[in-house]
Structure 1
Amino acid sequence: MNKIIPIVAAAVILLVVAVSGCVTNEDKNNQTNSYSANGVSFQYPHSWGVATLSSPNGVVAVGDPNTVVNGNPTTSVVIQKANATASSGLKYAYDQNYANFFNNTGKTKVSEAQLTLNGATVYENVYTSSEEGVAKKYRAVWLQKGSTIYVILCSARTEAYDSQQTNFDLVINSFQAS
């Protein structure tokens, strides 16, 4: 019996060390960067960086530099201002944008939803597309801050999309506009 107690104690110590190592690694994975300029602010993954912005009405883009193809990250989030004005209403702007969006464009709708984010109604459209030989999945979240309508466009290669949801949620849930 006296020989079992030291073995149990050693096992408990090893378990504590193993768990603390996992917590330390998890904390490193949860580190974030902050973006604050152009009237918006948000958090994004520590390993990502600010990317070159090439989209119309773009405010800022962040992306994973480990996924660059043809000069652009395939995993990214782009913040855009919608072409519509807030006076016409968020839902109207969203509906107008997608009225013909999927007609003969090579884009395929996966889902759409009305959600609540930080107490406000937002609209989400998920779709797939293949551009320059890269099959990607997109998540467009439409929201209104003050008198401006923003679109947070998250994208990744189709096979990597599901694993990026935590990173996309980080940007979306922390998004603020002044």
Structure 2
Amino acid sequence: MNKILPLMAAMVMMVLVSGCITNEDKANQTNNFSQNGVSFQYPISWGVASVTSPNGVAAVGDPTTVVNGNPTTSVVIQKANVTTGAALKTAYDLNYAQFFNNTGKTKVSEAEITLNGAKVYENVYTSSEEGVAKKYRAVWIQKGSTTYVILCSARTEAYDAQQANFDLVVNSFQAT
């Protein structure tokens, strides 16, 4: 009996440790999106969503957050509606010149950052649409003569917890 207890305890520990390793591996798995001239990685638990925004080229989202047929946690890739070849900073500034005037959107922050060696612009804001309060992160990237906006969004209370997922998409984004 004295020899069986330590053996059983060791077996339980092995099962617990292997379960932790398995769950961690699944949490780090990703899917790859490659269509419409763009590619990026996104969380394995998310799915490809319908693109309904103007100039949208891709959308992915968390299916567990669907409200009114759309995921509240999502990333949408759009081609910015700017003059072809316009400087990125000019396009960004023109877009946000009137964006927050009487729109119900509130600016949280904006920044000029470096992403994969390139200068990009980021605007974080909040808005409430259809009774859902959300926080958005718009990252403006120029690839060749095309300007892309990567729009990450989630319910305000869930936004901070989604940063790793948003970073995964933003950091892996490529235009082909």
TM over 0.5: yes
Q: Could you say which residue in structure 1 is the equivalent of 2:32?
A: 34
CA contact (8 A) 1:85 1:148 kept: no
Instruction: Calculate the aligned-residue CA RMSD, in Å.
Output: 1.8
Q: How many residues align?
A: 173
TM-score (norm 1): 0.90
Q: Give the alignment partner of residue 111 of structure 2, picking from 106, 110, 113.
A: 113
* Partner residue in 1 for 2:47: 49
CA contact (8 A) 1:35 1:43 kept: yes
The 8 Å contact of residues 107 and 126 in structure 2, kept in 1 or not, is answered as yes
Matched residue SS, 1:103: coil
In structure 2, how many angstroms separate the alpha carbons of the residues matched to 1:136 and 1:34? 26
CA distance in 1, matches of 2:43, 2:35: 17
Distance 2:9 2:112 in 1: 50
Structure 2 counterpart SS, 1:153: strand
Establish whether residue 95 from structure 1 lines up as the match of residue 97 from structure 2. no
SS state at 2:31 partner:
strand
For structure 1, the 5+ residue unaligned runs are none
The CA deviation string for residues 17-45 of structure 1, in whole angstroms up to 9 with x for no partner, is 54443222111011111110100000111
Corresponding residue SS for 2:141? strand
- Output the amino acid matched with 1:83: N
Q: How much has 1:84 moved relative to structure 2?
A: 1.1
**Matched residue, 1:73:** 71
Structure 2 residue aligned with 1:141, among 139, 142, 149? 139
Residue in structure 2 matched with residue 156 of structure 1 by the alignment: 154
Q: CA deviation at 1:88?
A: 2.0
TM-score of the pair, normalised by structure 2: 0.91
Is the contact made by 2:85 and 2:146 (CA closer than 8 Å) also made in structure 1? no
Contact 1:43 1:175 in 2 (8 A): yes
Are 1:86 and 1:144, in contact at CA under 8 Å, matched by a contact in 2? no
What per-residue deviation string (whole Å, max 9, x for no partner) do you get for residues 23-74 of structure 1?
A: 2211101111111010000011111111111101100111111111011100
Amino acid across the alignment from 2:122: E
Q: State the 1:15 CA deviation.
A: 5.9
